[in-house]
Every structure is written in C-alpha cells, then in structure tokens.
A and B are shown apart, each in its own frame.
Chain A
Amino acid sequence: MCDTCGCPSPSDHDHHTHAPTKTVDVHTSLLAANDALAKLNREHFEAMGAVAINLISSPGSGKTTLLEHTIEQLKGSIRIGVIEGDIETERDADRIRAKGVPVIQLTTGGACHLDAAMTHKGLHLLEKQPGGDAIDLLFIENVGNLVCPATFDLGEHKRVVLVSVPEGPDKPAKYPKAFTSSNVFLITKTDLLPYFDFPVPEAKAEALHLNPKLTVMDFSSKTGAGFEVWLQYLRDLVKEAKARQA
C-alpha cells in the first residue's frame, strides 16, 4: 500500500499534486492596447495635417444633421472628411456623401462604441476615397450611445458631446463620463425650446459642475441660430493646427 495516499498500488506513482502556483504583479491597463493604437491614430491624423473630432451623443441628438450643416457652411474653406460609426446600415454615410465630402461608414455589427482599431481601419479606407487623403478637419461620428463611447480614446484631438433639447437637461448628471471626458458640450435643437422644459443655463451649469474645463455652446442646426459660434470654433481649431505645422 502506498504510504502517501493510501491506495493499494506501490508508492512510486503520480499523486496528482498541483503544479506550483505563481503570482504575477501585472499593473497594465485593459485599455493599454486601445490607447497605444489611439496614439498611432493621432500621429497619423497629424501627419495628414488634420484635426480630428469625436462626436458622442445618444441616438437622435442631431450628430449627422450637425455634420450636414457644418459641411454646407465650411466646405468652401476647409476640407472635411467623415468616419461614420453605426451598428448597421450605410444611411448616415449616404447623407454625408450627398454633401460631396469623403466619407466612410463603419458598421460595428452590434458593438456599442467605436474603438481605436476600428477608427484605424476607417482612416485607411477613407484615404482611398477621392479627396480622402487631403483633409483639414476629420469628424468621427461615434455610435449613438452616451455611455460606452466615453471609455475609448480613438486618437481624436477634441471630444464633443451633444444633448438635444427634447432629451432633457439632466443628461450630464446621469451620464457623467461622457461630460468629464469631453472638451465641448453642444446643446442642439434649441428651436424646440418653446415646447420643452429645458432650462439652458441650468444644463450648462450642471455640465460645468462636472467638468469646469468644458466649452459649452447652444444652437439650432435647423434655423442656424447660434451656429456661427460652432463654426468659428472649428475654423480656429484648423487655423491653430496649421500654425503648429508651419
């Protein structure tokens, strides 16, 4: 009988002892791979001479409408390109293509956000479009979602979060990460203010409470009221980027 395990076979057999365990201190971010690729994207945008903007909002806040009107107003003076992110369909890209600027649609097939790898792929596809390799201002329209996109750096220079008047003024308090990680907060569809209870000063104060560094603007893409402030912000961004390059 085996002295170690008490089984009837002789003692020179395997006792199925576990291999020694090993504990490793790692300390790496789960976002390390994404952030490394985001850095490459940023360098790629800069090599192109482009400023990149990541647009984040819930579905229906007016991201695509904002882009349509922005392109109409700036097309003559600034070369614009767009990467569209959606779970399904080419519809947003079709709307942008109709405005005559290079655009690529990324369909995530279910993923609730864009990440740096998808953006990288989109950028290479965009560069193959006519005019896609000569862009001053690149918009990346994220998947409509106020939660998940906030965690992923795409390599953008500025992150812009939109809330439309019908959504209500409480979005900054309810979805803080989108606001603490953004540079600009746009309140859109202000032509609807007479029909909704949306106190603009309170919404602005709430967002600034979360992130005092936010630049806040409110306008209606439809009527054009207040839109010039947004356009000037973009012109200044492009001008600063060109000055840095020179």
Chain B
Amino acid sequence: MHEISLVQAMLQQLSDLAAANRATKVIKITMKIGQQSGVVADSFRFGFEVLSANDDLVRGAELAIISSPATFRCTQCDHTVTAMDRPDCCPKCQETFLIPEGGDELILQQVEME
C-alpha cells in the first residue's frame, strides 16, 4: 500500500497550491496515472477516501483518474506500440523483447478550488 504515501504527497501539494491561490476548498482533482507506474488506481482512490476524510481542505472533493498508456519499443525492428497492456510480441516482426518507455507518470494534472 505505497499508494497511501503517494496520496499524502498529493495532499501536501494540494495544501501548498490552495495557500498559493488563497483557496479554502478543493472541488475537483485530476490525476494522471501511467500503466507502468506501479500504482493501483483503486488503492489510490481508497487511500484518498481515507485520508481526505480528515482534511478540511479536500474533504468531499471529486477525484478523477486518467489512466495513461506506455509505449513499447521492439529491440529488433525498433517498431513502437502504445498500449495500456504490454503486447506479447512486436506486431511487425514478432520479437518478444520489448522495452517499455514512459507510462510511469503519477501526475497531479489539474485542480479546481474555491
């Protein structure tokens, strides 16, 4: 459950952001979570529900999670596939060794507050 630590990091960023914008209430949070990030969206949401309940700034806010794909590069022909799930092999040359690129982001993208 490292998702709890990550939710704590998000709450810290929200607190800084609210102070900078003189806001007292967060309404909506948009997070981008990559396919290769090692973070389970449901666990992240659960951690958010638990921790935001004790946080006046964030309590009741909507959490939107956008899942982002990774790109897989073929080690043989250099062909790339962008997908949510790792392909079994390169669709062009059937090589099975593919290197993942990107898709490991955990980005606080947008915050709506008042």
The chain A residues found within 8 Å of chain B, CB to CB, are 18-34, 111-113, 115, 147-152, 176-177, 180-181, 208-213
Query: Do the beta carbons of B106 and A30 come within 8 Å of each other?
Result: yes
Known: A27-B109, A30-B13, A31-B9. A148 touches B23 (CB 8 A): no
The total of Cβ contacts below 8 Å across the A-B interface reads 94
Which residues of chain A are near B96, meaning CB under 8 Å? 209
- Residues of B contacting A: mostly: mixed
B23 near A213 with CB under 8 A, answer no
CA distance A23 to B114 in the complex (A): 9
Taken together as a complex, chains A and B put the C-alpha atoms of A120 and B114 apart, in Å, by 37
- Cβ of B37 and Cβ of A151 under 8 Å apart? yes
B27 located at the interface, meaning its Cβ lies under 8 Å from any Cβ of chain A in the complex: yes
Q: Is the CB of A30 within 8 A of B10?
A: yes
Contact pick for B108, options A28, A112, A115, CB 8 Å: A28
A113 to B105, CA, bound (A): 19
The smallest beta-carbon distance between B34 and chain A, in angstroms, is 10
User: Of all chain B residues, which has the CB nearest A178?
Assistant: B38
Interface of A is mostly: mixed
Which of B10, B17, B38, B99 is close to A212, meaning CB atoms less than 8 Å apart? B99
Chain B residues, Cβ within 8 Å of A209: 96-98
Q: Give every chain A residue within 8 A of B17 (Cβ-Cβ).
A: 24, 26
In the complex, chain A residues whose CB is within 8 Å of the CB of B86: 176, 210
Indicate the size class of the contact surface on chain B: 35 or more
Residue B94 at the chain A interface, CB threshold 8 Å: no
A198 CB to closest chain B CB (Å) equals 21
Q: Which residues of B contact A152 (CB under 8 A)?
A: 2
Chain B residue with the shortest CB-CB distance to A145: B2
Q: Nearest Cβ distance between residue A13 and chain B, in whole angstroms?
A: 21
Chain B nearest CB from A175 CB (Å) reads 9
Q: How distant is the Cα of A21 from the Cα of B110 in the complex, in angstroms?
A: 13
Q: Which residues from A are CB-within-8-Å of B51?
A: none
**A213/B99 in contact, CB under 8 A:** yes
Q: A180 and B100: CB pair below 8 A?
A: yes
Partner of B110, one of A19, A25, A112, A149: A25
A115 to B38, CA, bound (A): 15
- Distance between Cα atoms of A12 and B106 in the complex (Å): 48
User: In the bound complex, do residue A30 and residue B111 qualify as a contact, i.e. CB atoms below 8 Å apart?
Assistant: no
Cβ of B107 and Cβ of A28 under 8 Å apart? yes
Check A22–B23 contact: CB distance below 8 A. Answer: yes
- Check if B21 is an interface residue, CB within 8 A of chain A: yes
B111-A26 in contact (CB<8A): yes
Closest to A213 in B: B99
Bound-state CA distance A148–B100 (Å) is 19
Residues of B within 8 A of A33 (CB): 9, 12
Are the C-beta atoms of A212 and B13 separated by less than 8 Å? Answer: no
- Residues of chain A within 8 A (CB-CB) of B9 are 30-31, 33-34
A173 CB to closest chain B CB, in angstroms? 10
Q: Is the CB of B106 within 8 A of A148?
A: no
Chain A residues whose C-beta falls within 8 Å of the C-beta of B19 in the assembled complex: none
Is B39 in the interface zone, CB < 8 Å from A? yes
**Per-residue 0/1 for B32-43: is the Cβ within 8 Å of any A Cβ (1 yes, 0 no)?**
000011110000
The answer to whether A177 and B36 touch across the interface, beta carbons within 8 angstroms, is yes
Residue numbers in A under 8 Å from B97 (CB-CB): 208-209, 212
The 7 A-B pairs of least Cβ separation, nearest first, read A148-B2, A177-B38, A212-B97, A21-B114, A30-B106, A30-B9, A19-B114
Chain A: minimal CB distance from B75 (Å): 5
